Amino acid sequence: MVHAKLIAEEALDLIIDITNHCRDYMERYFNLKEPLYFDFTHLVCRTAKPEMSVNRSLTDLSHEVHVDNCILQDSGECLRIPPAYTYRDYSALLYLNDEFEGGDFIFTHDRSGLSHE
């Protein structure tokens, strides 16, 4: 994108720097003995539809319950087979806006998301 002059080189440097900080934080938080390596990094800009931003319940999940590194079965079994990202063990999201509410990771016992930590 820098080569095509779609973004400034300084903006790319900032994205890479923030991404590295996130990776370093995860390595410390999980007390990892081996370094983490990036699968991919991207910046997403999203705006909620006006009719969707009011009266949302706490059980309204904007993403369905899923697992990145396996195919989650209704039985709860996780099949580590493609097209799942079987090599991925950690994922992170960083929200850059300060007026956002929610965005929590949940760890659920089943696909419903009704019982979660």
Using the predicted structure, report yes or no on whether residue 110 has a pLDDT greater than 70: no
Sign of CA dihedral 54, 55, 57, 63: negative
Angle among Cα 22, 91, 115 to the nearest 5 degrees reads: 125
What is the model's pTM? 0.67
Please state, in angstroms and rounded to a whole number, the distance separating the CA atoms of residues 8 and 82: 36
Determine the Cα–Cα distance for residues 7 and 1; give it in Å rounded to an integer.
Answer: 6
Q: Alpha-carbon distance 59 to 89, whole Å?
A: 26
Confidence category of residue 32, pLDDT binned at 50, 70, 90: very high
- Phi, psi dihedral angles at 42 (to 5 degrees): -150, 160
Percent of the chain with pLDDT over 70: 72
Report which of 81, 61, 63 is spatially closest to residue 72, judged by C-alpha positions. 81
